[in-house]
Chain A
Amino acid sequence: MPTLKIPTPLRPYAEGQSTLTLPGEVVEEVLEGAIETYPMLKKHLFNDEGKLRPFVNLFLGEENVNQLEGLKTPLSDGDTLMIIPSIAGG
């Protein structure tokens, strides 16, 4: 099963877990599994329209899944998916 790495700011919403191992053949299914297990993650990952928040990025190894097939990017057993926020301010 793929592994999902949770960044420190989101761990309080996943009972402190840094890594989740979840079933899923594409990125979207792994995220759905994470939210099903830890519903409080949802509002921090998705906006009210169900779209990924702009500062939420997903990396498969070194690659941003936006440069692959987005939420439909296929995953294999043993893949590590990382949630990485981008940071903006003024």
Chain B
Amino acid sequence: MKIHIPSHLLDQIQSHGENAYPYEGAGLMLGQEENGKRTVENLLFLENAREEENQHNRYLITAEDMLLGEKEAARLSSSILGIFHSHPDHPNRPSEYDREFAIPWYSYLITSVNNAKATGSRCWRLENDRESFSEEIIQVISNKLK
């Protein structure tokens, strides 16, 4: 499994995580999936809807924001491919809480942000049995799509 992301979009995801520090930042990745190949084309940066005292280790994207994402994806003739979020001062692996609330099919891109500096991103997909995640390789592409 691979997800292709233009480098400028990955930079934006990591900057968003740095700006949200020490809280978790989150948003949606929009793009195309053809024959199993996923390519991110646009990002939607969203508010972390969790109460402030929990935003350091939790995030929430409301159904209303997901509806907004679906409409934006339809406008761009694309799909919501997945969700990005940051882990302040924690590794870029899914937590047990991530697993509990994850939905199969979506790509979950996690950026580790240590002392307000993004130190790396990895991407994951929940298995259909909901028991574990498998890593999805991030293929950074240098050309801007639009």
Contact = CB atoms under 8 A, between A and B. Distances in A.
A89 B103 contact: no
Given A8-B105, A9-B105, A89 B85 contact: yes
Interface residues of B, number: 29
A51 to B, nearest CB: 16
A44 to B, nearest CB: 8
A12 interface: yes
Contacts of A7: 70, 80
Interface stretch (A21-29, A31-39, A79-87): A79-87
Interface in A1-24: 7-9, 12
A82 B66 CA distance: 11
B64 A64 contact: yes
Nearest to B63: A57
Main secondary structure of the interface of B (DSSP, over half): mixed
A89 B66 contact: no
B42 interface: no
B58 A88 contact: yes
Contacts of B61: 86-88
Contact of A55 (B79, B103, B108): B103
Given A7-B70, A90-B24, A90-B95, A64 B59 contact: no
Interface of B: 24, 26, 50, 57-64, 66-67, 70, 79-80, 83, 85, 94-95, 97-98, 101-106, 108
